[in-house]
Amino acid sequence: MDIVIVGFGTVGQGVAEALSRKAPTLQSAFKEKLRVVGVFDSKSYDVSPKGLDPREVAGRKQKLGRVGPELNGKGVLEILEEVDYDVMVEVTPTNIKDSEPGFSNMMFALSSGRDVVTANKGPLALKFKELSRTAEKNGGRLRFEASVGGATPVINLSREILMGERILSIRGIVNGTCNFILNRMKDEGLPFDQALREAQEMGYAERDPSYDIDGIDSAAKAAILANAIFRRDVTFHDVRRTGIRGVSLEAVELAAEERKVVRLIAEVSESRLEVSPRLVPIGHPLAIGGTLNIFQLMTDLAGDITVAGHGAGKMETASAILSDIVALLKEDCASRKKEA
């Protein structure tokens, strides 16, 4: 399996490291060579049909600020035309306004029957149908576990392991920054602004923190869950959205007197699509603290299933990307066996 990594910020570098660490085990399990044949950041690139050493490329990026020769006005896709690869790992930054450059990158790969594995929320929350139709039409596979919940395996759990279930609804906390802020307000009596500053210092918040606190990031994730799990055809704009900007310290303290916490909850079902602050009793799974993400799935046979984990972070997001790569390897291995 020949992989190109498009986007080489924190997540891309995490993927490079995860691949270096896990390739030997995966190669022997699936009897297939796993090679990174191209790496692109916004200014530079490195390609090799024989395979690059992903750790070495990450080291170069950290030392020099680029992965190889400058693009020099050439587009990433222009260079990719000449590269032979099977899977594009698309991890350029999320753009919730027009979904670029992620959307064009993904369409380029899917249109030629390649597989795409991504953490990029923008294209999935704005143009899911176009992407999945293009994948289907050309025989490519689109996987995006890392786009919602970071390392928490909610998408593949719902679509694959729980395929026999009817999932009635999903409620969850999908933004660690908001959870951190609400928690600090309650535990330390901090005003909203100060708690937000702390969250930014921790490096967990989006570049533009309004994405977190106005519920934009959560709404994008809710739209992805609706499309992927409930087979709806929605965009991020269809989500009823209230963020946490209006949650006062008084409201948090009042809730605490009633043994409740305020949480920014995303709720998705066949008929609901909403992100809003809600009161949750202390002790309830959704009252989880820290920066964790959590999902409570209501199903027809299994009842409630709850999964929690790290919603962001370099290696955590890389873990979800790797789980999608493993799923592709598994499918390829199964079809090779069928053909034999």
For the annotated catalytic residues, the residue numbers are 221
Tokens of 4: 């190109």
Non-local (6+) Cβ contacts of 249 within 8 A are: 185, 189, 190, 191, 192
Q: Is 316 in the site for ligand HSE (CB under 6 A)?
A: no
Q: Is 149 in the site for ligand HSE (CB under 6 A)?
A: no
Inter-residue long-range contacts of 83-86, CB under 8 Å, 24+ positions, other chains counted: 83/4, 83/37, 83/38, 83/47, 83/49, 84/2, 84/37, 84/49, 85/2, 85/3, 85/4, 85/37, 85/38, 85/114, 86/1, 86/2, 86/3, 86/114, 86/115
Q: Which of 39, 125, 219, 312 binds ligand HSE (CB under 6 A)?
A: 312
Reduced to 3 states (helix: H, G, I; strand: E, B; else coil), residue 259 is: coil
Cβ proximity to ligand HSE, 115 vs 206, nearer residue: 206
Q: Is 212 in the site for ligand HSE (CB under 6 A)?
A: yes
Cβ proximity to ligand HSE, 101 vs 215, nearer residue: 215
Cβ proximity to ligand HSE, 34 vs 222, nearer residue: 222
Cβ proximity to ligand HSE, 142 vs 174, nearer residue: 174
Residues 150-209 that bind ligand HSE (CB under 6 A): 175-177, 204-206
Whether the bond between 101 and the residue before it is cis, its omega within 30 degrees of 0, is yes
Non-local (6+) Cβ contacts of 301 within 8 A are: 164, 165, 166
Residue nearest to ligand HSE (CB): 177
Q: Which of 46, 115, 217, 274 binds ligand HSE (CB under 6 A)?
A: 217
The nearest distance, CB 311 to ligand HSE, in angstroms, is 4
The nearest distance, CB 306 to ligand HSE, in angstroms, is 18
Q: Which of 311, 316, 320, 325 binds ligand HSE (CB under 6 A)?
A: 311
Residues that bind ligand HSE (CB under 6 A): 175-177, 204-206, 212, 217, 311-312
